[in-house]
Structure 1
Amino acid sequence: MTLFDPPAPLAERLRPRTVAEVVGQTHLLGPGKPLTRLLNSGRLPSLILWGPPGVGKTTLARLVAGEVGSHFIGLSAVSAGVKDVREAVLEAEARRGRGQKTVLFLDEIHRFNKAQQDALLPHVESGLLTLIGATTENPSFEVNPALRSRARTLVLEALSKDDIRALLERALTDPRGLEGVRMEPEALELLARLADGDGRRALGTLEAAAVLANPVTEEAVTEAFGKHLPAMDKGGEDFYNLISALHKSVRGSHVDASLYWLARMLEGGADPLYVARRIVRIAAEDVGLADPQALRLAVAARDTAEFLGRPEGDLALAQAVVYLALAPKSNSVYTAWKRVVRAVQEGETLPVPLHLRNAPTELMKGQGYGKGYAYYFDDPAGSFAQAYLPQGAELDLYRPGTEGWEGRVQERWRKLREAHGEGEQETEN
């Protein structure tokens, strides 16, 4: 062993050699569980393994291929292409001639585009290849329906703290692990918590910490772990789940939850300006006219975040989120706008009444444009009496909420409806 021939990483050295050595995923591998039943049957269908990083997707693929006696071909969709798939097909055909089946493992399958995924279809359908795809993204969005229908999706879970603890203890006692390295109990507990369900991260941190101190201390674990960035795929399901949680927490007026999800997004690497745009949307959609200042503050926070950048601009976004969470809520304009857009899209195109039309030329005036228009400041009563909607249009769009500014102006809204001859309408709760 030399500097030019370094040992494999700890996580690779400790990769389970049998299904019995797998830590976690007991919902799939316990007695009578789905993957156990499949292996006991001796027939392995194509699979999609969906789960977070570091939970054993690659390991499981290798092990189940070995359990059923199939040849294993591993590809990564990050670097592989259709050419690599063709080569795998040729190898599988040669092995089928010798009576052996082939499992094609495709890591990060969500990174294959539609054409690349389609290239797999005929070989999966014919049974030449048993496909095992691994993904951290929701297969419903990232895997073609045709391919998804030919594979069974198994959901892998993040490892529990007990699972991580068992992995670390194995690393300290297994001959393939860290011989001669000890670890303080407090350090082990700290790393089990920091790993956030990622076994590969836990083992990599332990290996680095063992270089810094023996026995491994809490300080060594903290130094080896570095800054903790919450896991989040910036373009994947986690990202949209986090932005949804932020929006719904603000709408629900829960200040602490709103701040928590905001921090999760920003610390996870989300574009602050995307988050800012969502905050502006919340101000318009969920606070609305219950607090007309909310939109101004949200736009100001967006401008501040752009002007200052991170991390200074984060404070402006946090200020806006707290303000919006505390603000009274109204979606009256949001729902009114949805109603009117639907009415315009589905209804008849009605002409603008003549008295409301613009009349910049004598010809237009001769056609009656603008004739009879009652100017409010000259004739308030006439202004209220004239029609503002096309003839035949009957719309009931805006219904003020009861909170904040809207609650205070409800009486004026009611009187305006009466003055326009529209009668009193119920307000929204």
Structure 2
Amino acid sequence: MPYQAERLPREKVFRDPVHNYIYIQHRIILDLINTKEFQRLRRIKQLGTASLVFHGAEHTRFTHSLGVYEITRRICDNFQRNYPTQTPGDGLWDDNERLVALCAALLHDIGHGPYSHTFEHIFKTDHEAITAEIITSPTTEVNQVLRRVSPEFPAQVASVIQKTYPNPQVVQMISSQIDADRMDYLLRDAYHTGTKYGTFDLTRILRVMRPYKDGICFEISGMHAVEDYIVSRFQMYQQIYFHPVSRSMEVILNHLLKRAKEDYESASNRNEPAAPYLLFPFFNHEFNLEDYLLLDDGTLTTYFAHWRQSSDPILADLAHRFLDRKPLKSVKFDEKTKSLIPELRQLIEKAGFNSTYYTAINDSYDLPYDAYEKPTAQIELMQADGQLIELSTVSALVNAISGKFSGDQRFFFPKEMLSSKQDNVELFDPIYKAFQTHLHNDYII
């Protein structure tokens, strides 16, 4: 039997808190899960620093990737059962696309690094480009498994993730405004953070999802389930992903890695005990795929623990603040109050803090739904006569948030700047008092 068609003698299941069972039916999927590159995802948290706010959020990229695979498998089953192609080009589902869709779903996040987005920002990596490299490089176990299907198969799987695969149905399963990736992480993140507003009716959405010539649409009878998904996504960004304490810990992590990099460049920490040898290629801007795959959250955390004993007081303090959860405080600002930030930084410097490492500006904004960004981003509803209509034109709820960014800008600073006489800091009390006169509740005034 050809490898691409080989099914397991008995399907394997993974017990999952979100989907109950995740069903593995193809030999190739099980083989991909067992590669060292995919197993590495067990050691990378899905939500990074959010676990320092929502203590249950310890789930990993591994569990999320399995979830995206499972939702994609269900979509393929629904399409094959209800919308199988009858003639070439009829816009219905060709089940020969199933394997490339399942593999792309499983592997879509395999290129994420430790503390994904912060690491990318400091070391200028690109997890999507690295995902494609892991899939197409002959040095990886993932590539060797995929090549058993055909020499061209790894490039086909990578092209789905890169959004260049010729079948738009397959691409939109993995990457669109309502795709398997987003549906899994919303449900999974809501579950593990203990929140309810990230939940929506996945079963109903999958039921009303259908293929058409230009991609995937939804039966108009399921409009309210799609609305619920859009609102759930909006709420998760505001309440979970943009939580100010989680962002504060990201700021500290960012500054911690930045300081370590600068220490290395000044040759001040290369010979310290437990020097971060695995990070040296990144400090030198000359890392390769092998270097990248050696890193995970645990690797960095081990270095952070050693840096608490560093002879560099700033590096040691930032490591302490990150590991022992000592977040910076923050306040919102707008264009009117932005001009006060230099003065606030000067006061922070006078209080003895290096403003480069103990202050930050962070803005977090999300676009819940945009019908106009590009046609492929639209959510299309199919009416009874087969005509398509864009979601926001018939949903007053979605129209109300369509095209509107939500979020805020924050200025982060040391919590010590909120000290008072009661804290026995009378020496610096005039500085703290001057600082605090510019703050009111959650805003710079």
Q: TM-score range by the shorter chain?
A: under 0.3
Name which structure has the greater RCO, CA cutoff 8 Å, separation 6+: 2
| Length-normalised TM-score, structure 2 | 0.25
Write 1 or 2 for the structure with the bigger share of strand: 2
TM-score by length of 1: 0.26
